[in-house]
Structure 1
């Protein structure tokens, strides 16, 4: 599996290098954002609430439990990182580890295109996330983000899971149902995608 991930890293790095000029404008918009320290403190408040909820919810073994995480500015630090290999958002990584330790599956649902799925898998692996599944945007799929993510959660449920928690930083990550509880991370009026 590691060799496949390494090939994915090469493909992903190549694709990301092609879009690097677009990220320069992305960095300019970040100037209006709160500091990383403020953001991580705000994320920690939500992650603590999610951990408390999961501590009470996951001992129920009558369900095949799962949690769903968004990736950019949720599971991985995107806006506040200059690296091609994005670091884990530490408080959310702890939520994922807690869920896995309690027997829940950890799924990732993202609007990232499937062409960079190998790179995304590699990045999640390098960030030490437990990964039971990754849902990306299929090529030539033009449905709205909310529908894409809702349909991914429906697909997870069809696999026999009960999604006990869904965590993301945009309303499109969370609306549409198919999760017992949602946890919204800060997006600062849409500044964090």
Structure 2
């Protein structure tokens, strides 16, 4: 991700006439080595620890009245994008189990992703095909260049405006969780960016 950003920046500088072709002769080395993706079994074990905490919390929080919701990110939070990207991309088993349990206890299940709006229909289809209950899907709006944190926070605010209390927000990156508008956050492992 960092290398791609550096290359895009270098190409943009050259396209604006602010750099020379010599500046593009050798790609810039990343500032730090990318973190390695752990074996699938390790990842699932680590995810299961967090989903166990999530389920315990929801079992105590969901009973009772009111419109309650749980918000999930998609890539490497609900779908195995980094390990099994395909059509459809498989669900992450312990996350799917937690989402279904929350739905059975009356919570609405919303998905908030940085995927572009144009991917809405295939994304929703994928989620449903692998078993997720989907009460709403929020994607990056057309021509929106705001930081991911802002886009996701605004989506949660929109869910609250529908009358829901977001009791849990689940993601594998900090930008999935910052910005408030959730009673609790649960961070799945990203291994220092290896599962961006």
Tell me the TM-score normalized by structure 1: 0.82
- Count of residues in correspondence between the two structures: 164
Paired residues of 2:90 and 2:130 also in contact (CA < 8 A)? yes
Provide the residue aligned with 2:56 in structure 1: 52
Q: Which has the higher mean CA deviation after the structures are superposed, 74-83 or 129-138? A: 74-83
Which segments of 5 or more consecutive residues in structure 2 lack a partner in the other structure?
A: 1-32
Runs of 4+ in 1 over 2 A off after TM superposition: 29-32
| Residue 83 (structure 1) shift | 1.7
| Residue 30 (structure 1) shift | 9.3
| Residue 67 (structure 1) shift | 0.2
| Residue 139 (structure 1) shift | 1.3
Provide the residue aligned with 1:40 in structure 2: 44
Tell me the TM-score normalized by structure 2: 0.81
Change (3 A) 1:132 1:82: closer
Provide the alpha-carbon RMSD of the alignment: 1.4
- The match for 2:135 among 132, 136, 152 is 132
Provide the residue aligned with 2:103 in structure 1: 100
Work out which structure has the larger RCO, using CA pairs closer than 8 Å and 6 or more positions apart in sequence: 1
Paired residues of 2:35 and 2:194 also in contact (CA < 8 A)? no
Q: Which of structures 1 and 2 has the bigger CA Rg? A: 2
Which segments of 5 or more consecutive residues in structure 1 lack a partner in the other structure?
A: 1-28
